[in-house]
A and B are shown apart, each in its own frame.
Chain A
Amino acid sequence: MRSKMWSVAAIAGGAALVLAGCSGGGSGDSSEPLTVLIGTSGDAETAAVEAAAAAWSEESGVDVDVVVAANLTEELATGFAGDDPPDLFYMSWDQFQTYAGNGYLESYGDDLPNAGDFYPTFKDEYTFDGEFVCAPKDFSTLGLIINTDMWAAAGLTDADIPTDWESLTAAATALTTPEHVGLSFGQEYARIGVFMAQAGGSIVDGDEVVADSPENLEGLEYVKSLYDAGVLRFPSEIDAGWGGEALGAGKAAMVIEGPWIKGIEGDFPDTNYASYELPAGPGGPATFSFTNCWGIPEGSPTADDTESLVEFLTSDDQQVEFANAYGVLPSSEAAAQTYADSNPAIAGFVAGADYAVTPVAFDGAAAVVSEFNARLADFGTADFAGILADFQAQLEAAYAEANG
């Protein structure tokens, strides 16, 4: 009798478990809201995206659920691995090629009615295999940000604002005092690389890796000359986490950062600064652009609705609203010009969009760039020619594997 009761109990328990496990699979009805996964820079951005999504929901009748990711890269990877990616998500420039190359993204860019409004540079950046994959949502470029109080204290005027390498060295020398260093920027390819581009060098030219070139070496040598003269110090050497902190804490007079520098106003409200275009080098003006696009998973069943949402979010009016809310620059030329006209402070960043280049980011390049940054760690004794040679070899191997 007892054994019969045990068997019945075991079967009932097993059946309950099986039913519970199986019931979760049948989802996908149209009444579910669209999930939008974002990697936010703060409350301002979250609120702005939620407001925009709500406005579109009212128009279209489709609910939208904006989810803020604690770690966007991880949550996207786990979403795709579990075959449950969000319907729309931020796709950053550094991972775009990896995702597109692995077939993760739906190519919807050409279907957008406003596809012609975007800057051509960004449209090219998000084109993979001839297809315009995803719509750029914003951009940032690097500019030279100067502490206006320290500038005035050093007796410099508007005529001294650096427009080429010589004037940059002169300004940095004038601004270097025992209390603060003249110039500071991150000890990484994403900052030092602009000097390589300004000397006329590039990393990938068409189908060839050209990292090991005299122009790139010239750019590195110039940075070394600033370092040896004592007018350049990297943030880790002056007790700052990044260039913005160095500027805010008064440890550096000039830094190379993007429009996100606005974020230091919360921590350092007394620091007055102004942003300008980066000085041009021997090869002309150059800066880096960092963009994001709206990614839709490949084969997504809700693609029609999300494309309509993207069209709304990238419209000129909406982009200007985002720009006013949290400071990113609109990716469409008209909207960017509107924002620049009403905000002369960021005019330098917008002007940079005309000649900006993207840092190298093809599938597998991230590991090589990481190795390049690691080799630059010991800047005082680094052998640039050797580093560039290794950079070239490793990039070639990664490029061959990405396209092989």
Chain B
Amino acid sequence: MVRNNIRGGEARAGWLFTAPAVLIIGVFLVLPILLAIFVSLSDWNGRGSPLGNAEFIGGDNYAAVLLEDGLTQRDFGTAVRNNLYYVLAVVPLQTALALFLAVQVNRRLLKGRGFFRTAFYFPSVTSSIAITTIFIFLFAGSGAVNAVLSWLGVNGPNWFANPNGLGHMILGAAGVQRSGPIADGGALGLTWYDWLSGPSVAMCVLIILAVFTTSGTFMLLFLAALQNVSQEVQEAAAIDGAGPFRTFFSVTLPLLKPTLFTVLTLGLIGTWQVFDQVYLTGGGDPGKTTLTPAYLAYSASFKDLDWGEGTAISFLLFAIIVIFTLIQRWVLRDRDLGRSGIRREKRAVQRLMADAEAAKIGGNADAGKGVTR
């Protein structure tokens, strides 16, 4: 009886402590998401509550964005293409930079480690609006960046006003023009040639901005994980004759795999949701090459009062993020588990048996095949 009361009291206390958080998340996150699902399947025009003033129209909004030929589909295709190049550029770069910085800051011989840690982390705590505004000044046509480039004899482009895609420039240099089969077929309203445009020069500035701002946060995550890699492991690797690169790639990096997974997931989610920078630099200027699905959802809803289309784009974006995260999870999966893991183990055991046989016979030519060192 007494035990029941104690446990009961703990359960009640637990519920009481989590009640505010559950209420807030429920009211401000779960309910709006459910309502947004309804809006995306309705023709709500923004007046009054969607529950009373809208009709259920099924998947018409999704069809307009994905299937029907028109400006809506083309805008969505453009936004997805731009964001895809942004993700493919930012995620590897920021992960690599964060890892590099973390390794450098972690070195035992580094003096002033606290200073470097703070300096690299500083952009992450600064408001993204402030940083974007500074970048707009730095990368103006006659701004600081172009001035520095002119010292090196390079005529810098008009960064934020240049809509030319890097991919198109490379293809142009290789002689590929907008003609033939790649200019005819396409997907989501864009021709294949459009899909190969690469990030525009303006988008490249946003990529540099993102890498500069977020690598600090991920550096901290890697730093924490690196400090958990014990000295003994690295000393053992050194004794076995591994140089610094070998130690890093074959010993340290596999031990960082859980953190790498976290960093990649957070990076994917964050880059697919980029909005602040797009809003500040003109909402897609120049030439809709910095348009992203998140901004498109905002402008469709608030400016064109097309709430159904806006919410449909939001949920499509959600689906894209989930797919990418699942792909990334599959790529980084632990290969020692599951059916492939059992097969690898069997193969490893067979190799060891073969080596044992060869060693028994002694000094055979094919003993070199499976000898592990």
Partner-B contacts on A (CB < 8 A): 2-3, 6, 10, 73-74, 77, 80-81, 83, 95, 98-99, 102-104, 236-239, 363-364, 366-368, 370-371, 374-375, 377-378, 394, 397-398
Contacts and interface: CB of A to CB of B under 8 A. Distances in A.
A236 B47 CA distance: 38
B79 to A, nearest CB: 12
A258 B158 CA distance: 27
A374 B82 CA distance: 14
Contacts of B285: 377
A104 B47 contact: yes
Contact of B140 (A239, A368, A398): A239
Given A6-B12, A378-B287, 4 more contacts: A73-B303, A364-B304, A371-B74, A374-B163
Contact of B305 (A83, A98, A236, A238): A98
B80 to A, nearest CB: 16
Prevailing SS type, chain A contact patch: helix
Given A236-B161, A366-B304, A394 B71 contact: yes
Pick the 6 closest A-B CB pairs, nearest first.
Answer: A377-B287, A236-B161, A374-B288, A102-B45, A239-B141, A377-B286
Tier of interface size on chain B:
20 to 34
Contact of B287 (A77, A95, A102, A374): A374
27 contacts: A3-B9, A6-B16, A73-B302, A73-B303, A77-B46, A77-B302, A80-B46, A81-B46, A98-B304, A99-B305, A102-B47, A103-B45, A236-B158, A237-B161, A239-B140, A239-B141, A239-B142, A363-B304, A364-B304, A367-B72, A367-B304, A371-B75, A374-B163, A375-B287, A378-B163, A378-B164, A394-B71
A6 B72 CA distance: 55
Nearest to B12: A6
B142 to A, nearest CB: 5
A236 B161 CA distance: 6
A371 B75 CA distance: 9
A371 B302 CA distance: 18
B70 interface: yes
B5 A397 contact: no
Interface in B67-99: 70-72, 74-75
Nearest to B64: A401
A394 B161 CA distance: 25
Contacts of B164: 378
Contacts of A98: 304-305
A74 B302 contact: yes
B141 A77 contact: no
Contacts of A394: 70-71
Contact of B303 (A81, A238, A366, A398): A366
B287 A81 contact: no
B12 A377 contact: no
B284 interface: yes
Contacts of B300: 367
